[in-house]
Amino acid sequence: MLDDYRPVVIVLLFAAGFAGGVLALARYLSSRLPPAARPTTYECGVRPVGDARDRAQVKFYLVAMLFILFDIEATFIFPWAAVFKRLGLFGVIEMFTFIGVLLVGYVYIWRQGVLEWKA
């Protein structure tokens, strides 16, 4: 019965050894002296402006939620494409209806100015 778990144990030992080896190698190769810019905030090469604890605009969260919404809805197209030939004309009409609803929603949020970013 324990023979069934041998591959799992081997993989776990390999993963633990690899992780430990990479951490040891990083510790060995890394510099001991901290760079002068270490205490500053890193923002992709842009100099930080203001306090990091400032509140983010609600518009940022709204755009993020809309991105997630449209991204999730776009994933429904992949299963449809996988069974496209089996669905026939009914599937094509349903997908055009689905994409039409998405397009109407996109035009609505565009007209409402949700996608306008004013700093």
State how far the Cα of 41 lies from the Cα of 118, in Å rounded to an integer: 24
The model's pLDDT over 62-113, given as tens digits with 9 standing for 90+, comes to 888 888 888 888 888 888 888 888 988 998 899 899 889 989 988 998 898 8
Instruction: Please name the residue that has the structure tokens 């998405």.
Output: 102
State how far the Cα of 104 lies from the Cα of 106, in Å rounded to an integer: 5
Domain ranges of the chain: 2-111
Is the whole-model pTM more than 0.85? Answer: no
State how far the Cα of 6 lies from the Cα of 92, in Å rounded to an integer: 49
- CATH of 2-111 among 3.40.47.10, 1.20.58.1610, 2.60.120.260, 1.20.1560.10: 1.20.58.1610
Q: Which long-range contacts (CB under 8 A, 24 or more apart) does 63-68 make?
A: 63/114, 63/115, 63/117, 66/109, 66/114, 66/115
pLDDT at 4 over 80: yes
pLDDT at 50 over 80: no
